[in-house]
A = this chain, B = another copy of it.
Amino acid sequence: MKAKIVITPKKAVLDPQGKTVQAALEQMGHDGVKAVHVGKYLEIELEGDAEAWRPKIDEACHKLLSNPVIEDYHFTIE
């Protein structure tokens, strides 16, 4: 069983890494890129019950893995 967590900067937060990637894509000649957001991805291999893990993963995202002031997160367990 795996938890897949995606952490992205909130829309209102400046994303200089995203801006840099966007500029690089344009320099490669790719027009039509409206925006780029760069975030983190975590895959956690788990043992046990998925429903029992859900609140634990949520707590870990909130306290450990993301900065809730400037980042959003969502995750799936499957």
> Interface residues, chain A, CB within 8 Å of chain B?
6-8, 18, 21, 24-25, 28, 30, 32-48, 53, 56, 59-60, 63-65
A48 to B47 Cα, complex, angstroms:
43
Known: A32-B48, A46-B32, A46-B33. A7 touches B60 (CB 8 A): no
Q: Please tell me if the beta carbons of A44 and B33 are within 8 angstroms of each other in the complex.
A: yes
Question: Inside 8 A of A33's CB, which chain B residues have their CB?
Answer: 44-47
Question: Inside 8 A of A41's CB, which chain B residues have their CB?
Answer: 6-8, 38-41
A8 to B38 Cα, complex, angstroms:
14
A35 to B21 Cα, complex, angstroms:
30
A59 to B46 Cα, complex, angstroms:
33
